[in-house]
């Protein structure tokens, strides 16, 4: 069976890890690399706040090339789209046959439509391997299959700041407040994946400071354990 090369939009969180797993289980796809938007000013993954060196360690542990779309801060939507266009053009240079990019989105139709339009304008196709899956079941499957993650960002308008930094496990899922999506699909929280069946080895992380930014978003910093203090 001939395989189709595909990029995976990567944030370092649990949903894109599950999307990677879904692609790897589907014989038609050949995942050629991970595409991540990085805040050049702060050297972190946009929105999640994950350090660039942790992101790069993830890619190494997953055995996949990492393509970084750099974005200055502050920046607008046009800047984001320009950075993505540059990164996708670079991807075509690395992998001439690639025309598909997968995303870990679950049910937000407006986000899906935006991605389809954005990629379509560049002659790319967006793929959504997790689309429509039940988020409660998906969250439990993530934990049950041995994937490991922590909450690295919490929107304090939707979830108390104390949740930031907690392991994404059954204890967390059992106690999430009513109305909070188990996968944080409405932006309630973001995660950092660091181990499990897809990783060649788990990342050794140490927890750093927890900080409120923009008066709303609580971030917990995670560093590589062997990094300089």
pLDDT (average), residues 150-154: 97
Instruction: Give the relative orientation of helices 109-120 and 77-94 as an angle to the nearest 10 degrees.
Output: 60
pLDDT (average), residues 28-52: 87
Structural domain includes residue 53? yes
Structural domain includes residue 101? yes
Q: What confidence tier does 15 reach under pLDDT thresholds 50, 70, 90? A: very high
- Look up the CATH number of the domain holding residue 182: 3.90.1490.10
pTM of the model: 0.94
- pLDDT at site 47: 74
Pairwise CA distance, residues 115 & 113, whole Å: 5
Digit-coded pLDDT (tens) for 96-141: 999 999 999 888 798 899 999 999 999 999 999 999 999 999 999 9
Structural domain includes residue 120? yes
Shared domain for 73 and 112, answered yes or no, is yes
Digit-coded pLDDT (tens) for 158-175: 999 999 999 999 999 999
Shared domain for 101 and 26, answered yes or no, is yes
Q: How do 100-102 and 125-127 pair as beta strands?
A: parallel
Digit-coded pLDDT (tens) for 190-212: 999 999 999 999 999 999 999 99
| Residue where the block lists tokens 């008066």 | 215
pLDDT (average), residues 70-91: 85
* Dihedral of alpha carbons 23, 24, 26, 31, sign: positive
Residue ending a domain, choose from 94, 127, 160? 127
Q: What is the residue range of 175's domain?
A: 149-224
Pairwise CA distance, residues 205 & 134, whole Å: 30
Helices (H), the chain: 14-25, 52-62, 77-94, 109-120, 135-144, 170-175
How many structural domains does the chain have?
Answer: 2
Shared domain for 48 and 100, answered yes or no, is yes
Shared domain for 121 and 158, answered yes or no, is no
Structural domain includes residue 133? no
**Whose CA is closest to 146, among 214, 107, 196, 188?**
196
Shared domain for 164 and 122, answered yes or no, is no
The tokens for 28 are 């038609």
């Amino acid at each position: 069976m001939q395989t189709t090369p595909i990029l995976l939009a990567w944030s370092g969180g649990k949903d894109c890890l599950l999307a990677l797993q879904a692609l790897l289980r589907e014989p038609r796809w050949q995942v050629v690399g991970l595409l991540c938007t990085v805040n050049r000013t702060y050297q972190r993954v946009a929105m999640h706040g994950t350090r660039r060196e942790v992101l790069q360690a993830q890619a190494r542990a997953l055995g996949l090339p990492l393509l970084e779309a750099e974005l200055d801060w502050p920046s607008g939507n046009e800047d984001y789209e320009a950075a993505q266009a540059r990164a996708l053009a670079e991807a075509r240079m690395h992998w001439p046959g690639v025309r598909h990019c997968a995303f870990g989105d679950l049910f937000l139709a407006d986000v899906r439509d935006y991605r389809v339009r954005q990629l379509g304008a560049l002659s790319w196709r967006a793929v959504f391997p997790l689309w429509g899956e039940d988020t409660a079941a998906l969250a439990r499957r993530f934990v049950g299959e041995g994937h490991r993650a922590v909450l690295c960002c919490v929107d304090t308008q939707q979830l108390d700041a104390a949740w930031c930094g907690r392991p994404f496990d059954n204890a967390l899922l059992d106690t999430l407040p009513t109305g909070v999506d188990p996968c944080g699909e409405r932006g309630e929280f973001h995660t950092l994946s660091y181990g499990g069946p897809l990783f060649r080895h788990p990342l050794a992380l140490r927890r750093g400071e927890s900080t409120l930014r923009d008066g709303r978003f609580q971030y917990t910093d995670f560093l590589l354990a062997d990094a300089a203090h």
